[in-house]
Amino acid sequence: MHVVCSQTVDMAIPFPHLLYSEMPPIPAPLAPPAATPPAAVVETAAAPSQDDLKRIAAHRAVELVQSGMVLGLGTGSTAAHALDRIGELIRRGTLRDVVGIPTSKKTEAHATAVGIPLSDLHAHPVVDLSIDGADEVDPSFNLVKGRGGSLLREKMIEGASRRFVVIVDETKMVPRLGGSGLAVPVEVIPFCWGHTLGRLRSLFDGEPGFDAKLRRAATAGDGGNDEPFVTDNGNYIVNLYFENGIHGDLDLISDKILRITGVVEHGMFLGMASSVVIAGKDGVTVVDKREVR
Ligand SMILES: O=C[C@H](O)[C@H](O)[C@H](O)COP(=O)(O)O
């Protein structure tokens, strides 16, 4: 199978097109006193912050949502913008009969707060469209996800989706997975987690700069303590670190990780993304992936 990535739709749309509904009204200029010569006009356009870029990518993806759809609702700071937008469109009456399947308890609470009706994979085994962020995206659209700890439910729901749209700011693009030097998470059962960690470590023996560590609540950015971070499923996370990214056949590496008894799932999402919406300082790029047999 040959995979082709095609850039489509709206390459590098400048931000004013996307932010029109969010721009504050422009106040009327004050007239200078008659005797004062007019001051030079200097245009200052503030560069979008990383959070602005996340919101822009999220809003672009929500344009794909239609009434009646079953939606996979992602987790994280980028996906949160999509939830807010979907909730807003439901409240306005622009979107009707939409149900969302949340990928975490946090997303469940957020979606409820903004008025998105919820369901699950029992009631809706096929999801029309999932929208979610990612920690890393490689040139073939393979992803690292789960630095928020939600990789298992995300993979279940996004794997059941007809279309999975990934929303990122440009800092998430990497030449190879693991290339950011940050964690590639693996969800493991708590029982004898140290043994499972050791087996994960031995898979990458000899890999320069490789490390594996149990994720602690204190490092989860939620004010936790030194206890293990516990996922929504009651499991632990082992973080894998690759100094120079992951080298080798990713499918093979995925299989080897999943064959370790005690591993529940890992945060590499291989071949799952249908499209990636990338917001950067110069605009938004939507890239769709086509598979040609
Ligand atoms: O578990 C967390 C999820 O996989 C997130 O989608 C991922 O960590 C990206 O999060 P953010 O949008 O906050 O960078």
- What whole-number distance in Å separates Cα of residue 172 and Cα of residue 190? 30
Percent of the chain with pLDDT over 70: 82
Q: Is residue 29 part of a domain?
A: no
- Mean pLDDT, the chain, as a whole number? 86
Any idea what the Cα angle at residue 140 is, between residues 196 and 183, rounded to 5°?
A: 35
Considering the domain architecture, whether residues 11 and 120 belong to the same structural domain is answered as: yes
| Range name among 11-25, 57-71, 130-144, 201-215 with the lowest pLDDT average | 11-25
Closest C-alpha residue for ligand 1 atom 5: 76
Q: Is residue 86 part of a domain?
A: yes
Expressed as residue numbers, the domain containing 236 is 184-266
Q: Residue 222: its pLDDT value, please?
A: 52
* Binding site membership of 280 for ligand 1 (Cβ less than 6 Å): no
Question: How remote is the CA of residue 205 from the centroid of ligand 1, in Å?
Answer: 28
Give tens-digit pLDDT for 85-113: 999 999 999 999 999 999 999 999 999 99
Domain count, the chain: 2
- What whole-number distance in Å separates Cα of residue 287 and Cα of residue 274? 9
Q: Residue 20: its pLDDT value, please?
A: 29
* Binding site membership of 158 for ligand 1 (Cβ less than 6 Å): no
Q: Residue 8: its pLDDT value, please?
A: 44
Q: Is residue 240 part of a domain?
A: yes
Q: pTM value? A: 0.85
Best of 107, 130, 143, 147 to mutate for ligand 1, by most ligand atoms within 8 A of CB? 147
- What whole-number distance in Å separates Cα of residue 213 and Cα of residue 241? 8
| Range name among 173-182, 197-206, 284-293 with the lowest pLDDT average | 284-293
* Binding site membership of 146 for ligand 1 (Cβ less than 6 Å): yes
* Binding site membership of 72 for ligand 1 (Cβ less than 6 Å): no
Q: Residue 292: its pLDDT value, please?
A: 32
Question: How remote is the CA of residue 135 from the centroid of ligand 1, in Å?
Answer: 6
Considering the domain architecture, whether residues 150 and 276 belong to the same structural domain is answered as: yes
Considering the domain architecture, whether residues 122 and 159 belong to the same structural domain is answered as: yes
Considering the domain architecture, whether residues 124 and 241 belong to the same structural domain is answered as: no
Question: How remote is the CA of residue 27 from the centroid of ligand 1, in Å?
Answer: 37
Q: Is residue 33 part of a domain?
A: no
Average pLDDT rounded to a whole number, residues 227-234: 97
Q: Residue 47: its pLDDT value, please?
A: 87
Considering the domain architecture, whether residues 251 and 132 belong to the same structural domain is answered as: no
Question: How remote is the CA of residue 76 from the centroid of ligand 1, in Å?
Answer: 4
The domain that contains 255 carries what CATH number?
A: 3.30.70.260
Q: Residue 19: its pLDDT value, please?
A: 34
Q: Is residue 26 part of a domain?
A: no
The domain that contains 104 carries what CATH number?
A: 3.40.50.1360
Considering the domain architecture, whether residues 260 and 286 belong to the same structural domain is answered as: no
| Range name among 40-44, 163-167, 238-242 with the lowest pLDDT average | 40-44
Considering the domain architecture, whether residues 275 and 261 belong to the same structural domain is answered as: no
* Binding site membership of 74 for ligand 1 (Cβ less than 6 Å): yes
- What whole-number distance in Å separates Cα of residue 42 and Cα of residue 133? 36
